[in-house]
Chain A
Amino acid sequence: MQAKENTQKQRIVVVGNGMVGHHFVDQMIKAANADYQVTVLSGEPRLAYDRVHLSEFFTGKTAEDLALTTTDYYVENGIEFYTEAMVSAIDRDAKNVKTQDGRTFEYDKLVLATGSYPFVPPIPGNDQDHCLVYRTIEDLNDIEASSKCSKIGVVVGGGLLGLEAANALKQAGLETHVVEFAPQLMGVQLDSAGGRVLRHKIESLGVHVHTGKATTEIVAGETSRFRMNFKDGEHLETDMILFSAGIRPHDSLAKLADLDMGPRGGIVINNQCQTSDDNIYAIGECALWNNFIFGLVAPGYTMAKVVANHVMDSNTDESFTGADMSTKLKLMGVDVGSIGDAHGKSAGALSFVYENQLSGVYKKIVIDEAQNKLLGAVLVGDTSDYDTLLQYMLNGIDLPETPESLILPSLSDKPLLGVDALPDTATICSCHNVTKADIVQSIDDGNQTFADVKSCTKASTGCGGCTALLKNVVDKTLSERGVEVNNHICEHFEYSRQELFDLIKINDIRDFDTLLKKHGKGLGCDVCKPAAASILASVYNEYVLKNEHVSLQDTNDTYLANMQKDGTYSIVPRIAAGEITPDKLIVLGEVAKKYDLYTKITGGQRIDLFGARVEQLPLIWEELVSAGFETGHAYGKSVRTVKSCVGSTWCRYGVQDSVGQAIDIENRYKGLRSPHKLKFAVSGCTRECAEAQSKDIGVIATENGWNLYVCGNGGMKPRHADLFATDLDDVTLIKYIDRILMFYVKTADRLQRTSVWMDNMEGGLEYLQKVVIDDHLGLCDELERQMETVVGTYQCEWKTTIENPVALKRFRQFVNSDEKDSNITFVREREQIKPADKIKIVEVE
């Protein structure tokens, strides 16, 4: 009976749950075919996670953030899985596998997705503590632990993974060195000139690069834990060593089972990804196809898909026929791209090279002998041409008459590769292998927005490199289908935010009712009302709780505080630049104590007081205002904080007074309402302790003045700010910030951060520089005037509110009772209040 049931379902056993192994499982789940029972055996203690973005572990991502799946997902879809189940043997005759702890799993089809392991060069002394590798989350934990008791770290290996690992060490705060055996960095992907430019860029970020170095031994150090002796007689002292010198296939299991192996390892597979045993497949980095191991995730995904199809239908046409190894990535903030024949090894190949040493940009294209097709490219410092070049190469599109125009920075007449020029078979997203035809099909199936197409096809959800191209294809296809791509703010106004801004300003509209009557319909909603309130505030800067404005505001603006999950509010007084006197600090402590508020330091160098009931807000603010505090606008889509380091006043390294500058900037722009929140920072030297490069506006002191960085952000999708201008004096710095902010306030979409705003602008940073520095649009006077108006009409909203009886009336839970909301209750944790849990759902195992 049992046996019969078992024969009804094909048993698929997957060994390994890395990115590729999981992708295979996911393909089986998507197929939703009840004839198959999938069992996953994973040697690691957790299910699949994103190894491509492993270094983000050091910028605050957790193992959960990196997870690609959950146990719940596997359980819900009937996947049997075992973690820490290391497979030790395959019995091909009995068709079963055994785990180290003695369990046996029978299979009809076996999929080996065992991946690879880091190669550690056979250097004497390489097996000591603090000599580590970089592959798994467990490795990262070891690296983190080691870096806490190390000052200097060396990465052995200057390839793609080595530089990723170096980034991790840099993030962990170590003095970082890269030691590479070959004469250049990233020798696989880049030519020597590209490697040189990359090296220069990475060195300017403070990472030391040593190329052409063969390590002969690792011995005890004199000033650090270790000393690495090199063949050329030189040496390097370091506290930890990270080996990242390439990968080797994890193939011992297959070797034991006597499957065909490559001469230098790797499990030999055919086009269906079958090994020499028809019932055993191998996919990902353990597999050897045509004498080649693919160390990228996209080919592994393709293999996973091929196997899933082949398992379910052995007559399928789908096969693995190799993969394009082109890559685009950001290494320590440096853009690097490599396409096809990057080294120009093809017979008769010709190349065109563009290099700008000032900005550290290197571009090369390799074309065929007939000068008609693109064979390859190298891009360092600027990969904006990557998508276009890749399409030329993959689809064999005829080159323009002057191929060099594809990489030259000609501002106007660069030939654009239109969506029309792409054949239907063109791969738009190589991570998920989505073609132009797939995208068009998904639109014909009813997906009408970029977001829908993205979630349906998965295109652009991998590395994200194809986002711009995908958007072009979607927009073009939609407009061909007659679907109007509109940017209307909501159903009540047939205008974009920028158009509403112009309508309000040009027609001198001062309240929402007039705007709605003249230009809109219906009653408005929670999208257009706050947007209009924000525009009105940016243009006229009236008190936000004026009668005609109060009903437009989001609750945080209405109550001038931040609503928390239980309906109470948090309070953040302004502490400009994070500078506060002991007396004021005592006032905050006393107020927090009196009202029993949970107290926490914010990331913006301020103090947040949580748990205030709506009726307590005016009482608390009366005390704060009389002690000289102002509102911090933490509740508004507005300028929040200007973070600063202590600067030249105290710091041995500071070259300018960053605190003074930050206070001036914060006081100038405080209260400015904008399409989204704005965060600033000022650092007193290039050590950048204020983290200005992660802010919308970042200012970093130089010997000669200030460098201005723009349009960075932290949060869900962190983005480094771009260098906008260098060595500015105080007056020019403020002038530029005035113009940038007002141009943003005037032209951005609702809830669009500065980074997305600039990235969506045609011409991006260069265009913004033209508008702000060269006054390309003739707008600068107006932008500055507008900022002067806002600065000149600043008022502390809380001071105005506590002096206004009508406004104060709104700060109560009940109009007819002084009772408190009985639903708000607190418990204590670590000597402070926290919201009491409401109903606890008891999970039954």
Chain B
Amino acid sequence: MQMLEQDWTTICRTDDLITNSGVCALHNGEQIAIFCIGEDIQNIKAIGNYDPKGKANVLYRGIIGSIADELVVASPLYKDHYSLETGVCVEDESLSVPVYEIRVVHGEVQVLS
């Protein structure tokens, strides 16, 4: 139990988040895009910030939304959609970004490393 707890690292606070939009946190040299879905501060998703098609760290600046029932972010560069659940690009399934386990504890946003 204690071991497991240690694997969660705090990367920012919930008041750093923006409702229905994204921010980016740096964690062990990796850029993580964190999105807050709706008013519920517990409902957050995290994926890699690097857009593999545009080759730039910009995904946190994309617009979030839904395609059918899938939560997605639209890359601000070429408008491809990446699933916030699986990281897979909707337009080109050969492209994907990493997905991070993330949670909120006492106002702290933590990522599982």
Interface residues in chain A, defined as those with a beta carbon under 8 Å from any beta carbon in chain B = 491-492, 522-526, 528-530, 547, 550-556, 558-559, 563, 565-567, 614, 810, 813-817, 819, 821, 823-824, 838-839
Contacts and interface: CB of A to CB of B under 8 A. Distances in A.
Contacts of A529: 63, 65
Contact of A491 (B26, B34, B64, B67): B67
B64 A551 contact: yes
Contacts of B31: 814, 821
A555 B62 contact: yes
A563 B76 contact: yes
A526 B31 CA distance: 23
A558 B20 CA distance: 13
A823 B50 contact: yes
Contact of B26 (A523, A552, A817): A817
A374 to B, nearest CB: 48
A523 B65 contact: yes
Contacts of B27: 816
Nearest to B27: A816
A257 to B, nearest CB: 53
Nearest to A563: B76
A565 B67 CA distance: 25
A547 B19 contact: yes
A551 B63 contact: yes
A554 B16 CA distance: 20
Of B56, B62, B64, chain A has the most CB atoms within 10 Å of the CB of B56
Nearest to A821: B57
- Interface of chain A: mostly helix, strand, loop or mixed: loop
B57 A823 contact: yes
B71 interface: yes
B19 A565 contact: no
B19 A524 contact: no
B65 A815 contact: no
Interface string B46-66: 000010001111100111111
Given A559-B61, A810-B18, A823-B50, A525 B23 contact: no
Nearest to B17: A815
Band of interface residues on B: 35 or more
B102 interface: no
Contacts of B66: 492, 522-525
Contacts of A547: 19
A839 B67 CA distance: 32
A815 B23 contact: yes
Contact of A526 (B18, B50, B77, B79): B79
Given A525-B66, A559-B61, 14 more contacts: A522-B65, A522-B66, A526-B65, A529-B65, A558-B21, A563-B61, A563-B77, A565-B54, A567-B57, A567-B77, A810-B23, A815-B11, A819-B26, A824-B56
Contact of B55 (A551, A813, A821, A838): A838
Nearest to A817: B26
B88 interface: no
Interface string B67-110: 11101101011010100000000000000000000000000000
Of A563, A566, A813, A815, chain B has the most CB atoms within 10 Å of the CB of A815
A526 B63 contact: yes
Nearest to B78: A565
4 nearest interchain CB pairs? A525-B65, A555-B76, A567-B56, A526-B74
Contact of B64 (A523, A567, A821): A523
B37 interface: yes
A492 B63 CA distance: 15
Nearest to A548: B19
24 contacts: A492-B65, A522-B66, A523-B38, A523-B64, A525-B63, A526-B65, A551-B18, A551-B21, A555-B76, A558-B61, A563-B58, A563-B76, A565-B54, A567-B58, A810-B18, A810-B23, A814-B26, A816-B16, A816-B26, A817-B25, A821-B57, A823-B50, A823-B56, A838-B55
Interface string B7-25: 0000110001011110111
Contacts of A567: 54, 56-58, 77
Contacts of B26: 814, 816-817, 819
Contact of B20 (A530, A551, A554): A551
B107 to A, nearest CB: 14
Contacts of B56: 565-567, 823-824
A555 B55 CA distance: 16
A816 B18 contact: no
Contacts of A522: 65-66, 69
B65 A555 contact: no
A552 B19 CA distance: 11
A525 B57 contact: no
A817 B30 CA distance: 12
A839 B50 CA distance: 15
Contact of B24 (A524, A555, A814, A839): A814
B54 A524 contact: no
B74 A816 contact: no
Contacts of A524: 65-66
Given A529-B63, A563-B58, A523 B37 contact: yes
B23 to A, nearest CB: 5
A68 B63 CA distance: 37
Of A550, A813, A817, A839, chain B has the most CB atoms within 10 Å of the CB of A813
Contacts of B19: 547, 551
Given A815-B25, A821-B57, A554 B65 contact: no
B65 A813 contact: no
Contacts of A838: 55
A108 B79 CA distance: 51
Nearest to B36: A551
A555 B61 CA distance: 6
A492 B31 CA distance: 31
A815 B16 contact: yes
Contacts of A554: 63, 76
Nearest to A813: B24
A31 B20 CA distance: 51
Nearest to B79: A526
B74 A525 contact: yes
Of A492, A553, A823, chain B has the most CB atoms within 10 Å of the CB of A823
A233 to B, nearest CB: 66
Contact of B67 (A525, A552, A566): A525
A523 B71 contact: yes
A559 B21 CA distance: 13
A758 B88 CA distance: 40
B25 A814 contact: yes
Contacts of B67: 491, 525
Contact of B12 (A552, A813, A816, A839): A816
A526 B20 CA distance: 12
A819 B38 CA distance: 29
A452 to B, nearest CB: 17
B62 A526 contact: yes
A719 B65 CA distance: 35
A525 B20 CA distance: 11
Contacts of A492: 65-66
A661 to B, nearest CB: 37
Contact of B11 (A566, A813, A816, A821): A816
Nearest to A839: B55
Contacts of A525: 63, 65-67, 72, 74
Contacts of B61: 555, 558-559, 563, 614
Contacts of B18: 550-551, 810
A540 B61 CA distance: 25
Nearest to B76: A555
A349 B71 CA distance: 68
A13 B76 CA distance: 49
B57 A530 contact: no
